Structures are given as structure tokens and as C-alpha cells.
Amino acid sequence: VTAAEILATGVDWSFAPTLAVARNVNWGRSYESYSQDPDIVKSYAGAFVRGLQGDLGDQSVMACAKHWVGEGGTRHGIDQGETSLPADELERVHMTPYCAAIEAGVLTIMVSYSSWNGAKCHGNQFLVTDVLKNKMRFDGFIVSDWDGIHSLSEDLYKAVGIGVNAGIDMFMEPDNWRDLIEYLKAHIEFGTVKRSRIDDAVRRILSVKFAYGLFDKARPAARPSANHESFGGLEHRELAREAVRKSLVLLKNDGGILPLDRSSRILVAGKNADNRGHQCGGFTLDWQGTSGNAPVRGGTSIWEGIHAVAPNAVFSGTAGKDADPVQHDVAIVVIGELPYAEGPGDIRSGNDVIVEAGSQISGLLTVLEPYSHTLELAKSHPEDLQTIRNITSCGIPVIAILISGRPLVVNQELAEVAGFIAAWLPGSEGQGVADVLFGDYDFTGKLAFSWPADSEANCQVDDPGYAPLFSCGYGLKY
């Protein structure tokens, strides 16, 4: 289905799957990771590649496993930061998913912005050539990330030489591509880049294009898949709705408040209750995501999904100030994060962690303003807790639904409510949440990440003394 949706837009190469094993939820790209557990990520890696590429026929899309390697293990969860691990630990945790992707025949792999033991991955010949190409026998081509070689040196001529010799075959160079070409020619002329290195890159790129049949296919707009009627259609939306149902994790259900009765007088509130843009998160329609229902055409917000099956439900807006125990039996408050992507999604307690990371890296570290300075939702979004308290102070029991790209410290919110659901970033099909709220389906989701107990506590999974509130694998049922 994902391949069909991609092909309908005219795209035939997808920068997915992301095989990061996120070990610190302060990282702004945590939601791109399947899990903190390498075995879970591995299980998705092969399945995703097979589903996307298939038999490399007309219904296939080229996959790109990313980002090689260790980006999910950076200290303090700093995007593009430093992963300090012994080689055997890097292999056990962060390379494991790539083995499954390569076995499944992934055609391309993208290099990470991050560093391993001080060396930027874009310039690391050991990781890119010795390990990935030679030891793991990956025979597709390796692509840089967007402007990735610029992290190697402020001197683009020098950066080009380092990146090419490291083993990168194709470069995403949006602005300085003419300079890159001239600098590469100069490196070849001066002998600082061997022609055999260029031959290897050309062979790999052409081999992938031939394997995919790119030279025999019509232009994307003329292919049978272009603008296909199935794009955004009911069958695809039903599958997305099923994914929502199966990904929800029930963290609290005091007194069996869930499932709800459709005839109950339900008050729905919260900033994320009627916002498809917030449900989708970052990298949707825009780099940093979007807000509101209008930009995300089709689908349903969580409020729309509830209202469709519960005729007595009413929407109170964001603050829940209409709460009345005479008129309402129960309330649903949809809380959580706002959309973000990449570095702007980082949680950083202070600039000291950036100074620490920068001092360990041989290269450049791009620093963007972080989403917040704390994982504690009550501090980053105090309006959510206030909405809950506006309602519980009236004696109405509350079920909280958390929209977020990662686990957050929600101790205060948990203490206030009778039920708590981690809905992650459910996407456009909010109706899937209602399917489970009213008992048409039971909860089946389990945490793929452990849940932090305290914003001041250590969130680095690998560190001694790490003690989460909920362990990876936790999840209640009715």
C-alpha cells in the first residue's frame, strides 16, 4: 500500500525505512525509529524493504535504509551528535537492522549526519567501505544525506575528497552541485581520488537503475501507477485505520473506565482533539509538519472519529471550561506535543550538552533551537494539565490521549486521570482511536520504548541506573 501511494505521486525512490535504534527519547527524531530494541527494528527492516521493493516490477519502489550508522545512540539524544560506543556494541545494537535490510535486497543506503567515536559518518571509510561494502557485502549504492558532506569541513573541496574516498557514491548537494562536480574533477586530476573509486560508484548506481528497470520504464507521469485512483482511497485508509488501532498503548485504566459506552455523555477537549495536522506530526506536507484539519484532506481527527459513533459527545474546545457534571458523564482530553522534525525536535536541558558533543567531534555540528528544555509535559505544555484539571475539578473522570512522537514525562497528568492512552502520531485516520475507545477492538499495542520516570533522570537506555516508569513491552488490555 505504501508503495502504491508513493508511485501514484510519480516518485519511485523512497528515503525509507529509517533503521535508527533510538536509545534516548530526547532525540528529536525518535518517532522515526521503530524501537529502542534492535531486534524489533530488525524485524521491521526486512519486512519494509520487501513490501516496498517487492519483485522490482511495476508496483515496486526503491527503498533506502537510513541513516548509516548509530544515529539513534547519540549522547543526550542530540541530532547529528556523537555516538561513543565500542565497535562490537555499535554492531550489536545499531548495525543489526541493516543486516536484515541487506538480506531483503535493499538497493540504497543513506549515511548519517552523526559521528561515531568522534569521526563523522560521512567521512568514515571504515564504516562506509570496510564494513558496509566489504564486510556486509552491500552491493547497492550509498547516498549522502542532504548537504551531508558539509559537516566534514568548511572547505567544500576538502569535504568532497573525504566523502568520496570514504565510499559515498551519490551526493545530495542541492545548492553547490556545480562546485562539487568541478572539485571532484580536480581531485581525480590530482590523484587524490582514484578513478577506481569513481568506477565503483558508477557501477553501483547503474546496477541499481538496471535492477529497478529504470531504463525501460516510461517517465513517471506516463506510468500506469501515476495519479492512480487508489491514492488516498478507502482501501488504503482502512489499512491506515487498522494501524492506528494496533499501535495504541493503554497505560492506565482505573476502575475499568474503558471501554466507553456509545450512549455516554462525553465531553471532548484538548488542543490535539480536533487537529489532523498534529496527529500526523513532522515531515507531513511540510518539513516541520502542519496544524489544523484543512491541510490534511480526507481522514478524521480524533474528535471527528468519536463524534461519528457517539451521538451524545460534545466538543469543548481546547480548555475544557464547559465541563458540567450534570451534563457530562466522562471526558476525553487529547494532549501532547506539537509537530516537529529533526534537530528542532530535540529536548536539551542546556547548552552544556552541545559543548560536550562538539568537543568530541572532528567536524561540524549543526545546532538548531530545540523543541523544549524538558521532557516533562506539564512544563513544556502546561495548558494540557490545566485543561485536565478544569474538568477533574468538577468531578468528571478524564481519559487522556497523548499525541506525541516519543514517551514523555507525564506523571502529573497520569495522577489526575482515570485512563491514559499513548496514541503516538496516529496520522490522518483518527477514527481508529474511536474504534478502540468504545470496545469494538481491544488494545493490542505494547511500548516499543521504555517510558521515562522523571525529566531529571537519565534517559540514555545504555547507561547504568536507567530506571523507566514503564518498561519496553508494557501495555494493558481490557
The catalytic residue positions are 145, 342
d(CA 206, CA 214): 10
**All residues at 6 or more sequence positions from 320 whose CB lies less than 8 Å from its CB, including other chains:** 267, 269, 270, 331, 333, 387, 388, 390, 391
Sequence letter at residue 175: D
Q: Which of 256, 331, 269, 330 is nearest to 301 (CA)?
A: 269
Q: Which residue has the cell 509535559?
A: 377
Give the strand order in the sheet containing 115-116: 82-83, 115-116, 119-120
d(CA 433, CA 430): 6
Q: Is the dihedral of CA 298, 262, 417, 246 positive or negative?
A: negative
CA-CA-CA-CA torsion for 272, 377, 391, 423, nearest 10 degrees? 40
Calculate ∠ Cα 414-420-426, nearest 5°.
130
Calculate ∠ Cα 315-319-323, nearest 5°.
60
Sequence letter at residue 197: R
d(CA 321, CA 397): 14
Q: What are phi and psi of 365, to 5 degrees?
A: -115, 115
User: How many residues would you count in the chain?
Assistant: 478
SS3 225: coil
Query: Based on the number of CB atoms within 10 Å of its own CB, is 428 exposed (0-12), middle (13-18) or buried (19 or more)?
Result: buried
d(CA 316, CA 260): 18
Q: Which of 134, 90, 82, 142 is nearest to 111 (CA)?
A: 142
Q: Which residue has the cell 569541513?
A: 153
Supply 148's cell numbers. Answer: 551531508
Beta strands 398-403; 119-120: pairing state: unpaired
Angle between helices 156-166 and 195-212 (to 10 degrees): 70
d(CA 61, CA 225): 11
| Beta-bridge partners for 420 | 252, 400
**Which DSSP symbol is given to 300?**
B
